[in-house]
Each structure stands twice: as C-alpha cells, then as structure tokens.
C-alpha cells in the first residue's frame, strides 16, 4: 500500500502570506540580527515596531521567515546564530539531543498492578489527559504522524534536529507482537528520514492508522474499580476484527525493511542518536534483549517500582526482586543504558521502608541504574487501588511526609545516575488523592539545600553555560561494583564541577550471552551536554563537537586495555554509526567493535 501525500498549510499568524508582509519581516529580522542579545523585553520592543494587520509576529513566524528569506538576503551562514537568539524553549535541547516521545496503541498488558490506571483509550498505565498521550491520541497512535508532528514543532521553534532521541512509551513494549514492533520503529525512522528532505516543512506523508475505538465507544473507561470487565478484556474485544494477533493490516513490517530505513537514517540530516523502549523485568529474557537491540534500541526504561518482595506482592506486580535483578544484569551485559522507574507510597510500604528501599537501588550491585524516574504513587479513579483506599487499607503520604522521603532519597543518588523525573505528568484533576504539586522537584531541591544535604546526581550538575577552554577541563574516572563485572563512570568536568560530558564503560567478568560481544569491554554510553550542535557545526560556545566525546572514548579504551581486554564494543545508535566508524570502530551485526592492541 503506497502512502498518501498531504500538503499542509504553513501554520503562521499571517497564514503563509509571506509576500504581503515581506517588508515588515525583513525589518524585524534586521533588528534581531543587530541585537547583541534578545531578551523578552528587547524582542517585544522590536516586533511592536513592525506590526501587521492581524497583530504581532510570533517567534515561529520569524523563524520561518528567516529560513525563507535568508538565501535572497545572503544570510545563510548566520542561521545557527540567528536561531539561537530566537529559539523557543531552549531547555528542550540543552541536554544535547532533541527528545521525541511517541506512544504505542492500546494493547493487552501482562501486568495486573493495583496502582495502574485503566483508561482503555490509552496504552496501559497512561491517561488520556497527559500531554504526550493527548498528542498520540490526536494522531491515532500512528508512529509516523506522532514523530513528524514532534519534529515539526521542534523545527518551527528553531531547534536543530540532527540528533534525535526517540522515546517509545506505552505500557509493556515486549508484549506487542514482533511485526508491530518492527513496523512501529520503521515508521518512526521513515518520518525522520522524510523530514530531513529539503521540502520537509510542507510535505507530510501519512500511512493510515488502524481504526481505534473512540471515547464514546468505551463507556467503561472511567468507572474506576467498578469496571465490569478488565482493561485487557475491553481492548481485546475491540481487536477481534483485526488480523495478525490484534494488528491492523498495515501495522506490520519485516526486519529487512527496518534494516533499509536504518541504513538511510545513518546518513540522514535527522538522525536517531538514541532509541528507548519501555518494558517490565519479567518480559526481559535473553532473546527479548537481543531482539530489542536488533530494533536499534540503546536504552531500556524498566519498571522496578520496589525492591521489596512483600510490596511487589501487595501491588500484584507479577514478579519478584530476583527477576528484576536478572533483567538488569542482562541489559547491562548487552550494553544497554538502564533507566529504572521506582515508586514510593505503594500499597504495603511506609516512608521509612521507602527510604531503605531506595538505598538498595545503589547498594545492590545487580541494580545500579544509570537513570531514574521517581513516581510517587497517586490514586487515580480507574485504578484498582481505589478499593483499597475506600477500605482504609492504603493512604497517601502527606506533602510533608512525601517531601521528606524524596529529600532523603535524592541526596543519596550517586554521581553516575541521572534523576530524570520526580513526578508523573498527570493533570491534578485526574488525581483523587496524592500529591498534586507540579513543581515537586523544585520544592524537594529547595528543601535539600535548606538542610545542606548533597546533590550529586547528573541532572543537577550538567553544564548550562558556554564551556571554558578545553585545556581547563578535567577527566576523572569513578569505578563502582556491579554484580557481573566492573563499571566505570568517566566524566568531563569544569573547575566548578559542572558536567560537560560522560561515558559509561562495562568490563564483564565472563562472556556475554550475546555471541557477538564475547568478553569485549562495552562502552554503554557517551554523552556530551550543552546546547545541541548541528552535524558538522563548530561553535566555541557549545561543548558538542569540541573533542570531549573523542577524549572520553580514548579514555575508555585505555581502561579496557589496562584490564587486558582484547576488544572493545559500543552499543551504537543508528545515527551515531558514522561517528564511531570515524574513531576506528567497525560495524558487525548489532554492535561496533575495535581491537585493542597492547600498550
């Protein structure tokens, strides 16, 4: 089935009538070019000097106008500097990548967790009013359209899209049929590859999504613990008319088709430099880990939730701590970055138990996640936990209790871990009881500073200013124990302990279950922070492309060589293949490898 081409209008306040407003636009662009910096007051003063009949030009209007007019004005070489001044929400790409989050369609889930919402409009554990979920629903969960719409939003706001981290969320990825997984990833890559085309702003290729039940067709969605049928029963009924195990006719693809779009993306102007999927510990077998890697994934978000067997049983999680430990060991042995989810205030726990449980995340050498999402349990009407609350068997922590737990937990996070979130992005009106503080992290960090407790995790230390001269940077290395080998966290720091970049190196004690790896040392991650630099761009104010990544890789190789490893491998994303190949790494099947000659 051939995709359909749709022409989209340019969504600007002047409705694409560039010719009608060209004089005003050029005048504004000249004023912006002449401004040394562009704070809100300066920008407002400039645009008010040159209004149009419908009001004032927005930043996205001016970004589009600049891209259209720059060639005729001879300003092409200044695009990076101009967009830096106008860029909207610059924090979105301040970590060095453009994160694009997409959701899979609703599908039966192997879990029966009592805290999980049962919104049958959404994949399990998600709510239709969450911002990312709303975007997915509006695009009928079609991976191409979701990816395209996020890329377009970044593009219109002035962000470079050379380095995209694709984050696939939606319940348990590993429970979806293999053909759907391949198709979903392929269509995301199709969107990135197509968007890099010269006419990307006006061309939108869409593959029709399978029909999805509307809200009106799902009357049981919001009846909470009074659902007459389970989430899986409702979803399965709506899939009975579909073939291929609950898939629409178009929702299938082959490994060969995926390989072809991977190949194209490795040379695209919109490259995928990281692919993330979300799953459960009991769905992470050796075979599944290798299949996820074949899709091009480099990071796995995994629901640990608790390291107490009693708490896991009380919440009907469906697996024990030993399963979690084994799953994380397999992911590390295959080179994946591990992004764990942990939940305080679960049924059967209390504040002191939670603090002790959190310590086990880093004292247990089988766990030690690289990144962490902390999701305090909130009561949602459609969750089975509602019945426990009504019986008095569960209560939410008070704000003071929760803040105290989170302060004590956050202060104990080691240097090698990044805490990415401290609260779910759930609208407050969907929360029956529980914390409704949207800026919970800000409150917790303020209290942490008041108590004069340390804050060492990665997010709090990443650089947020132009980097100093390369010769002033230091490159310390930290080793910490893991159950299946030795782990090294290599940093690049300023004199103020700001984190410019880092690398993760794993030295296995024995041969990996992945035949291709054998006993090779594995570079699991190389990340350079600071403003996202476009491919080939050299900007002294940006830390990317300044030699930091190369130095970190060289230091990894030196450590592996000292510990007598004969080969070193890297879990390269599709979009970073050429980077590692330039450093002497050779692509094999799913990894890039390099021999290590004796010093």
What three-state secondary structure class fits 418? Answer: strand
Measured between alpha carbons, how far apart are the two ends of the chain, in Å? 56
- Residue 140 within any structural domain of the chain: yes
Contact in structure between 430 and 129 (CB atoms under 8 Å): yes
The domain that holds 575 is classified in CATH as 3.40.630.30
- Residue 249 within any structural domain of the chain: yes
Band of the pLDDT at 190, cuts 50, 70, 90? Answer: very high
Q: What is the pLDDT, as a whole number, of residue 171?
A: 81
Could you report the per-residue pLDDT of 448-464, keeping only the tens digit for each? Answer: 999 999 999 999 999 98
Residue 432 and residue 298 share a domain: yes
How much is the pTM? 0.86
Burial classification of residue 23, based on how many CB atoms lie within 10 Å of its CB (0-12 exposed, 13-18 middle, 19 or more buried): exposed
Could you report the per-residue pLDDT of 102-137, keeping only the tens digit for each? Answer: 999 999 999 899 999 888 888 988 888 788 888 898
Residue 359 and residue 271 share a domain: no
Band of the pLDDT at 204, cuts 50, 70, 90? Answer: very low
Give dist(CA 157, CA 86) in Å, integer: 8
Contact in structure between 336 and 298 (CB atoms under 8 Å): yes
What's the domain range around 167?
89-279
Q: What is the pLDDT, as a whole number, of residue 484?
A: 94
Q: What is the pLDDT, as a whole number, of residue 14?
A: 44
Percent of the chain at pLDDT > 70 equals 85
- Residue 155 within any structural domain of the chain: yes
Band of the pLDDT at 39, cuts 50, 70, 90? Answer: confident
Residue 236 and residue 107 share a domain: yes
Percent of the chain at pLDDT > 90 equals 59
Domain final residue pick, 279, 299, 331: 279
- Residue 146 within any structural domain of the chain: yes
Band of the pLDDT at 220, cuts 50, 70, 90? Answer: very low
Residue 84 CB partners (closer than 8 Å, separation 6+): 158, 531
- Residue range 465-489: mean pLDDT, rounded: 94
- Residue range 424-433: mean pLDDT, rounded: 82
Band of the pLDDT at 429, cuts 50, 70, 90? Answer: confident
Q: What is the pLDDT, as a whole number, of residue 242?
A: 58
- Where is average pLDDT lowest: 129-143, 284-298, 306-320, 542-556? 542-556
Total structural domains within the chain:
4
Q: What is the pLDDT, as a whole number, of residue 18?
A: 61
Q: What is the pLDDT, as a whole number, of residue 533?
A: 55
- The yes-or-no verdict on residue 324 having pLDDT over 90 is yes
Greater pLDDT, 180 or 82: 180
Contact in structure between 267 and 291 (CB atoms under 8 Å): no
Residue 163 and residue 122 share a domain: yes
What three-state secondary structure class fits 9? Answer: coil
Q: What is the pLDDT, as a whole number, of residue 597?
A: 85
Residue 439 and residue 330 share a domain: yes
Domain final residue pick, 415, 442, 461: 461
- Residue 444 within any structural domain of the chain: yes
Q: What is the pLDDT, as a whole number, of residue 492?
A: 97
The domain that holds 440 is classified in CATH as 3.30.750.200
Band of the pLDDT at 227, cuts 50, 70, 90? Answer: low
Could you report the per-residue pLDDT of 535-560, keeping only the tens digit for each? Answer: 555 555 554 557 999 999 999 999 99
Q: Average pLDDT, whole number, for the chain?
A: 86
Q: What is the pLDDT, as a whole number, of residue 599?
A: 66
Q: What is the pLDDT, as a whole number, of residue 93?
A: 53
Residue 454 and residue 382 share a domain: yes
Residue 153 and residue 269 share a domain: yes
Backbone angles phi, psi at 340, to 5 degrees: -90, 150
Band of the pLDDT at 531, cuts 50, 70, 90? Answer: low
Q: What is the pLDDT, as a whole number, of residue 231?
A: 81
Residue 367 and residue 329 share a domain: yes
- Residue 285 within any structural domain of the chain: no
Give dist(CA 64, CA 18) in Å, integer: 10
Q: What DSSP designation does 462 have? A: B
Band of the pLDDT at 221, cuts 50, 70, 90? Answer: very low
Band of the pLDDT at 8, cuts 50, 70, 90? Answer: very low
Burial 317-334 (b: 16+ CB within 10 A, else e): bbbebebbbbbbbbbbbb
Q: How far is CA 306 from CA 109, 317, 347, 432, in A?
A: 19, 9, 11, 23
Q: What is the pLDDT, as a whole number, of residue 506?
A: 98
Domain final residue pick, 259, 279, 299: 279
Most confident of 155-159, 184-188, 538-542: 184-188
Specify the DSSP element, H or E, that contains 288.
helix 286-294
- The yes-or-no verdict on residue 576 having pLDDT over 90 is yes
Residue 76 and residue 93 share a domain: no
- The yes-or-no verdict on residue 271 having pLDDT over 90 is yes
Residue 156 and residue 258 share a domain: yes
Q: What is the pLDDT, as a whole number, of residue 59?
A: 79
Residue 387 and residue 272 share a domain: no
- Residue 118 within any structural domain of the chain: yes
Q: How far is CA 304 from CA 223, 379, 483, in A?
A: 28, 19, 17
- The yes-or-no verdict on residue 46 having pLDDT over 60 is yes
Residue 308 and residue 262 share a domain: no
Residue 536 falls in which region: left (phi positive, over 0), alpha (psi -120 to 50) or beta = left
Give dist(CA 346, CA 303) in Å, integer: 13
Could you report the per-residue pLDDT of 328-372, keeping only the tens digit for each? Answer: 999 999 999 999 999 999 999 999 999 999 999 999 999 999 999
- Residue 286 within any structural domain of the chain: no
- Residue range 273-291: mean pLDDT, rounded: 97
Q: Which alpha helices (DSSP H) does 370-435 contain, by range?
A: 385-390, 399-410
Band of the pLDDT at 83, cuts 50, 70, 90? Answer: confident
């Amino acid at each position: 089935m051939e995709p359909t081409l749709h022409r989209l209008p340019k969504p600007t306040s002047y409705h694409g009538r560039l010719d009608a407003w060209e004089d005003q636009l050029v005048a504004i662009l000249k004023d912006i070019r002449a401004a040394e910096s562009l704070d809100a007051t300066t920008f407002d003063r400039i645009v008010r000097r040159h209004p149009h009949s419908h009001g004032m030009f927005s930043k996205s209007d001016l970004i589009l106008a600049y891209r259209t007019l720059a060639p005729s004005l001879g300003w092409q070489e200044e695009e990076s500097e101009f967009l830096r001044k106008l860029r909207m929400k610059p924090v979105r790409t301040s970590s060095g990548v453009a994160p694009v989050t997409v959701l899979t369609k609703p599908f039966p889930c192997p879990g029966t967790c009592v805290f999980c919402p049962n919104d049958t409009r959404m994949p399990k554990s998600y709510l239709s009013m969450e911002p990312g979920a709303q975007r997915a629903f509006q695009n009928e969960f079609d991976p191409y359209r979701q990816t395209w719409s996020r890329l377009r939003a970044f593009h219109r706001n002035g962000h470079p899209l050379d380095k995209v981290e694709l984050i696939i969320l939606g319940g348990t990825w590993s429970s979806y049929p293999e053909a759907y997984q391949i198709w979903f990833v392929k269509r995301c890559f199709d969107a990135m590859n197509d968007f890099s085309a010269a006419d990307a702003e006006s061309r939108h290729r869409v593959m029709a999504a399978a029909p999805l039940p509307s809200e009106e067709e799902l009357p049981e969605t919001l009846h909470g613990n009074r659902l007459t049928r389970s989430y899986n029963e409702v979803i399965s009924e709506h899939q009975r008319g579909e073939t291929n195990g609950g898939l629409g006719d178009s929702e299938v693809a082959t490994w060969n088709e995926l390989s072809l779009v991977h190949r194209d993306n490795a040379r695209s102007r919109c490259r995928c430099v990281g692919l993330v999927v979300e799953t459960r510990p009991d769905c992470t077998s050796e075979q599944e880990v290798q299949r996820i890697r074949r899709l091009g994934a480099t990071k796995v978000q995994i629901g640990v939730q608790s390291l107490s067997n009693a708490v896991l049983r009380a919440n009907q999680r469906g697996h024990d701590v030993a399963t979690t430990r084994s799953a994380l060991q397999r992911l590390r042995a295959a080179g994946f970055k591990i992004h764990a989810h942990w939940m305080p205030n679960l049924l059967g726990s209390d504040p002191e138990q939670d603090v002790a449980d959190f310590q086990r995340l880093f004292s247990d050498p089988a766990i030690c996640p690289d990144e962490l999402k902390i999701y305090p349990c909130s009561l949602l009407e459609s969750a089975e936990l509602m019945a426990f609350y009504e019986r008095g068997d569960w209560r939410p922590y008070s704000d003071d209790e929760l803040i105290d737990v989170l302060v004590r937990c956050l202060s104990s996070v080691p240097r090698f871990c990044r805490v990415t979130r401290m609260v779910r992005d759930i609208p407050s009106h969907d929360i029956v009881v529980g914390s409704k503080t949207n800026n919970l992290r800000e409150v917790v960090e303020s209290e942490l500073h008041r108590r004069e407790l340390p804050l060492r995790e990665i997010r709090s230390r990443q650089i947020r200013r132009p980097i100093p001269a390369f010769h002033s940077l230091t490159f310390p290395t930290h080793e910490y124990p893991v159950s299946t080998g030795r782990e090294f966290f290599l940093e690049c720091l300023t004199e103020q302990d700001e984190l410019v970049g880092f690398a993760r190196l794993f030295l296995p004690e024995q041969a990996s279950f992945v035949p291709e790896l054998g006993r090779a040392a594995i570079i699991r991650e190389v990340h350079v922070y600071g403003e996202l630099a476009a491919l080939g761009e050299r900007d002294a104010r940006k830390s990317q492309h300044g030699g930091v990544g190369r130095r970190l890789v060289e230091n990894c190789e030196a450590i592996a060589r000292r510990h007598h490893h004969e080969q070193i491998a890297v879990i390269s994303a599709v979009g970073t293949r050429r980077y590692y190949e330039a450093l002497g790494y050779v692509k094999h099947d799913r990894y890039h490898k390099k021999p290590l000659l004796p010093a």
